[in-house]
Amino acid sequence: MGTERIANYTVIGRFRTRRKSKIAETIDSIRKRTLADVLSIRKEIHGRSLGAALRILWSYESRATPGKAKTPGTTALLAILEQRPEIRDSVLPALRAIPILPHGCGIALHHLAARMNLEKADRFFAELGEPVSPDPNHPVNQLRNALTGLRGQGGVRKQTYILAIAIKAWNAFFHGRRIKQLRFGAERETFPRLDAEAGWGPLGDAAQSSDASSKGTPI
């Protein structure tokens, strides 16, 4: 009898992951590789940071808290890259915000923001690197100040906080709002989502929204 080779799939969130055959599982058990190993072998640009971004995107898409949720294995994360190859387009723009914004966080945020408005996403990251507004309540300046104060700290909690305030700053930037005090309280707030994505999902195309201005308010 021939070997059955029907492909099976497991659907998790918006990502489809192929179930590995027994043969594949045997090969993996003999020669397991980490995500960083695979991305390095594939010669992906800034593979380690790209891997960090894939983990963040998986958690975000699953509506879990990035930095705290248990991430899937290498195969599932590579499936994200296969289904969303445009993630690679965010690797270089995210470099503009280094060292203030960790590269992996930047890649994930730029990718999500670019699906809302690529021009604004590029401008947001360019201004993170080189601010153009003297307004202390400008969301980019608020984010720069907050991130500068966090430098030197480490750990999962830091990543979660960085992503939360970065998303809040992006939302304000996207809608043309000012921020009086950028902050995130994990104990009293749910992890923020990017605006203008209702009905599309966090990795779906989102309709552009017109800018609106308002007085600086805590956010």
Structure-block tokens of residue 144: 């720069």
In this structure, are residues 111 and 87 in contact, taking their beta carbons and an 8 Å threshold?
yes
For 184-206, the pLDDT digits (tens) are: 998 889 999 998 654 333 333 33
Least confident of 32-36, 99-103, 162-166: 32-36
pLDDT of 119 > 70? The answer is yes
Secondary structure letter of residue 12 according to DSSP: E
Comparing 20 with 152, which gets the higher pLDDT? 152
The count of structural domains within the chain is 1
- The pLDDT confidence band at residue 32, using thresholds 50, 70 and 90, is confident
pLDDT of residue 20: 52
Please write down the long-range contacts of 91-95, taking CB distance under 8 Å and 24 or more positions apart. Answer: 91/45, 91/46, 91/49, 91/50, 92/45, 93/121, 93/122, 93/125, 94/49, 94/125, 95/46
Asked, for residue 3, whether it belongs to a domain, the answer is no
Instruction: Record the pTM.
Output: 0.75
**153-179 pLDDT, tens digit each:** 666 568 899 999 999 999 999 999 999
pLDDT band at 1 (very low <50, low <70, confident <90, very high): very low
What is the reported pLDDT for 66? 85
Output the DSSP codes for 147-166: HHHHTT--SHHHHHHHHHHH
Examine residue 166 and state whether it is found in any structural domain, yes or no: yes
| Helices 156-175/118-129 angle, 10° precision | 120
1 domain-assigned:
no
Domain that holds residue 182: 9-24+33-218
Give yes or no for residue 127 having a pLDDT over 80.
yes
Tell whether 132 is covered by a domain: yes
pLDDT value of position 21: 54
Q: What's the confidence (pLDDT) of residue 175?
A: 94
Confirm whether 2 is domain-assigned. Answer: no
DSSP 153-209: --SHHHHHHHHHHHHHHHHHHHHT--EEE----TTTSPPP--SS-TTT-TTS-----
